[in-house]
Amino acid sequence: MSDWTTVLDPLRALFAWPWALLALPAPLLARWLLPAARDGSPALRVPFGDRVDAVAIAARRGLRGGGPGLLAWLAWALLCVAAARPQELGEPVRPPQAGRDLMLALDLSGSMSEPDMELGGRPVDRLTAAKAVLADFLDRRGGDRVGLLVFGRRAYALTPLTLDRDSVREQLLDAVVGLAGQETAVGDAIGLAVRRLREQPAGQRVLILLTDGVNTAGALEPKKAAELARDEGVRVHTIAFGGDGSLSLFGLQLPMPGAGDEIDEASLQAIATATGGRFFRARDTGELVQIYAELDRIEPVAREGVAVRPRIERYAWPLAAAWACAVLAFALPRRTQRWRPAWRR
């Protein structure tokens, strides 16, 4: 098998359909296998029959006869080469692709279990509402590489940057409150995102961070993390997510003590400003949908795609040469007959 591979690989590099070269010995096989023509009148009369007969006779003589016979064989070989579609690799090109490298950071601290949101007309907790909006956001991120990290007491990366949005969505749906701890490490989440994004092209490093609390854990302060993100060219968009202290139930606004007064909006706004991002405040699911729609409208950055080498078709050259040989083979018998000396006629 390895010997055949050694033979076929160069042919595949030169021809799109190398198997067409198997037709090269077809005229010889036809001459050996088909019965000889019987003497008698021709079954079909065609114009210029004598010239066609001359070419056929010369072809039957093969290479020994030279002249038209050699041209006929050469024309057939060139036709087989043209049918195999010879190709040439062009210069490498990198087609442009539109997209960004996005990291999504989702707060899984204990306060995300507060049931002060509505989804489909029924009350839900903050995490359920956030997951529903994020899943819809992922559906519109075709062409982007998206990663997902979650944070509570610590920050964890659930998925690396990937074009497989289905994997990101599955990990998102499996996230639960308290998975990363009950506290909130905003600074560590930003630091982890910066480490994941620093190897990506400049101008495409974007972090979207959603939280409903105040930084209460972690080794990295939010201000220091913002400076690190700014130095690494990571643009951070921050979303403060949480109700305003009441819950709508059957059209009535029910107060919820302690809800809505724990979000550090000033710190989140400072992070976004320092890194060139934007700060958003979402008090309900509808506002959160509008925020992600606004983020979706941010112009993508064009980047170079995977380098490819286009294949340039070269079958026209052997095809033109085969046509020229065929014309010469057709015309040569008549020309030879015209200029043959009388004593040889």
Residue type for position 328: L
pLDDT digits (tens, 9 = 90+) for 51-79: 555 555 555 554 444 555 677 788 888 88
Beta bridge partners of residue 104, listed in sequence order:
148, 208
Residue 344: the pLDDT is: 46
Tokens of 208: 């979207």
* pLDDT higher than threshold 80 for residue 309: no
Tokens of 159: 């998925």
> Which pLDDT does position 44 carry in this prediction?
55
Describe the crossing of helices 26-33 and 68-83 by its angle, rounded to 10 degrees: 120
Burial 263-282 (b: 16+ CB within 10 A, else e): bbeebbbbbbebbebbbbbb
pLDDT digits (tens, 9 = 90+) for 273-295: 999 999 999 888 888 889 888 88
- Yes or no: say if 201 and 161 are a contact pair by the CB < 8 Å rule: no
Tens of pLDDT, residue by residue over 263-276, are 888 999 999 999 99
Q: Which residues pair with 41 in a beta bridge?
A: none
Residues of the chain with pLDDT > 70, as a percent, come to 71
CATH architecture of 101-304: 3-Layer(aba) Sandwich (3.40)
The strand pair at 155-162 and 145-151 is best described as antiparallel
In this predicted structure, what is the pLDDT of residue 34? 66
Distance CA 169, CA 104 (A): 11
**Which tens digit of pLDDT belongs to each residue from 336-345?**
544 444 444 4
Asked if the model's pLDDT at residue 229 lies above 90, the reply is yes
Phi and psi at residue 104, to the nearest 5°: -105, 125
Q: Rounded to an integer, what distance in angstroms lies between the CA atom of residue 144 and that of residue 298?
A: 12
Each residue's pLDDT tens digit, 46-58: 555 565 555 555 5
> Is 80 exceeded by the pLDDT of residue 224?
yes
**pLDDT band, residue 319 (cuts 50/70/90):** confident
Q: Where in the chain is the domain with CATH 3.40.50.410?
A: 101-304
Tell me the average pLDDT across 77-106.
79
In this structure, of 66-70, 214-218, 249-253, the range with the lowest mean pLDDT score is: 249-253
How many Å apart are CA 183 and CA 174, to the nearest integer?
19
Q: Is the dihedral of CA 105, 110, 115, 121 positive or negative?
A: positive
- How far is residue 325's CA from residue 261's CA, in Å, rounded to a whole number? 90
